[in-house]
Structure 1
């Protein structure tokens, strides 16, 4: 339940009313009070990258019509503003009733400029999306210095820097877990993390345990479901896979998780835009 005073008073008032009712139906009313709507949710544009490359304005218009209020972009050939100036892109977002909250980008090239442009239009995060498997744990330790430096640049400009995981950072290397090395070797005042829940589960890890172990470090997440295939696993429409988002997102929200961003990378039996619409339908009904 929300700790907001207004919500608390409202909910406790409803609860008192529910308790005054006859026993029949009381539990269902209290069950509803135990949950709260997810609120705004976003989509990582990589999910619909082909459509974005073909016609970004039309694609974003459709995503807005599906119910997405937030987007997370990625850095392509035309940058993460898709060939538009940052202020032009913000106007498009405003016109659509959307907000660009974050973007994946290369944090080793012109990061000062990128941070300034992102901050100017009210973005919250720039995110390093990939480092790849490394030869030694020392490589990951070197990333800590890079991430702290990027975090300093981002903070100076008024935004935050984060790192997005894949499964490789959970695989033991030289007797250590790279994800632990990065989380404990970066300054919590400068560096946050975006949990890709799919990749955590694919690595055989429990997302809830990571939220608990590192409170207020995972500020964003990718809501991406997992289904088993003959070759291993792949992502699928949310709710059609095996990941228990109800318990995971509820737990994450207790430990600082704020941004819920849809992502899907495989589209068996459907196409990316159809899946984006279906995923928005799932998220719009989701309750923490």
Structure 2
């Protein structure tokens, strides 16, 4: 695993190639199986399906969830990942009403971030009833010891069992703190190695892995099949490297998603979900449209 200094040096060395327009990038042949959630177009090596984390347009969702979802569906997103914005993950609708609404738009509500420590049984039942694929814990906060992370892994196993009983999967979404060394270990490793792969998956936030000083591709390869979802979130090159809130329009930053997404696809990552949290010179809806355009034209 690269340390931060070496990784930044390598990023600078290869950054120019990573920023080449997609039309100058070749599309390597692949014999690997198509991912179930983000299938690769057989002829062109493009993404067939990709999603949006609705937190990217959270203000718009708070104002009018139906109108916001209708608009982003028109941008070309085929999948949605939700969050609990105070109105529940179904935004004031029943689970079946919400499913009917998004089905009519031609998009799939594949997953949602939620508090998996409260009312998980009932939420998992509702999610499973409408065919959702995942309930995802988005944040646990830095733990004080490795033993606390191990206890968290035990809790994830239990939550994974509840989700499995209802026909869906449990996943944990990382932030940078699980890549900060603690007691000589990397907490993210502890969580992965102490959870049952039959019960617990992981959603890699590529931005947080990258800004923590690690190579997302190396982590995907280190734990094949465990990172089944990925947040596609680019890092601005105009801000300090360790800026906590430094995301930008995908393709305008410094991360090599051509390589990252190919590696993810080849190592069990089924879902590619756009997320952006900073909007310099733009707004969330405009950014969501530009990000969809990038994903639709993406070539491996």
2:162 corresponds, among 145, 153, 170, to 153
How does the TM-score come out when normalised to structure 1?
Answer: 0.88
1:266 corresponds, among 278, 286, 290, to 278
1:91 aligns to what SS in structure 2? helix
Following superposition, which runs of at least 4 residues in structure 1 exceed 4 angstroms of deviation?
A: 2-5, 32-35
1:116 aligns to what SS in structure 2? helix
The alpha-carbon deviation at position 132 of structure 1 amounts to 1.1
Asked whether the equivalents of residues 235 and 253 of structure 2 are also in contact (C-alpha less than 8 Å), the reply is: yes
The alpha-carbon deviation at position 36 of structure 1 amounts to 1.1
CA distance in 2: counterparts of 1:133 and 1:240, whole angstroms: 30
Counterpart residue number, 2:69: 60
Counterpart residue number, 1:203: 212
Is residue 236 from structure 1 mapped to residue 248 from structure 2 by the alignment? yes
The alpha-carbon deviation at position 230 of structure 1 amounts to 4.7
* Superposition RMSD in Å: 1.6
| Gapped regions of structure 1 (runs ≥ 5) | 6-31
Is residue 77 from structure 1 mapped to residue 82 from structure 2 by the alignment? no
Q: Deviations over 1:1-22 (max 9, x none)?
A: 35569xxxxxxxxxxxxxxxxx
2:123 corresponds, among 114, 123, 144, to 114
The alpha-carbon deviation at position 76 of structure 1 amounts to 2.1
Q: Deviations over 1:58-99 (max 9, x none)?
A: 001100110011100001211000010000000110111111
The alpha-carbon deviation at position 125 of structure 1 amounts to 0.3
Do the aligned partners of residues 4 and 186 (structure 1) sit closer, same or farther apart at CA in structure 2, a change above 3 Å counting?
closer
Equivalence map 1:83-102=2 (5 Å): 83-102=92-111
Larger Rg over CA atoms = 1
Asked whether the equivalents of residues 32 and 266 of structure 2 are also in contact (C-alpha less than 8 Å), the reply is: no
CA distance in 1: counterparts of 2:33 and 2:144, whole angstroms: 47
Do the aligned partners of residues 35 and 79 (structure 1) sit closer, same or farther apart at CA in structure 2, a change above 3 Å counting?
same
| Gapped regions of structure 2 (runs ≥ 5) | 1-29, 35-40
Q: Which moved more, 1:84-93 or 1:130-139?
A: 130-139
Q: Deviations over 1:86-116 (max 9, x none)?
A: 0000011011111100000000101011111
CA distance in 2: counterparts of 1:154 and 1:232, whole angstroms: 35
1 or 2, which has the higher helix percentage? Answer: 1
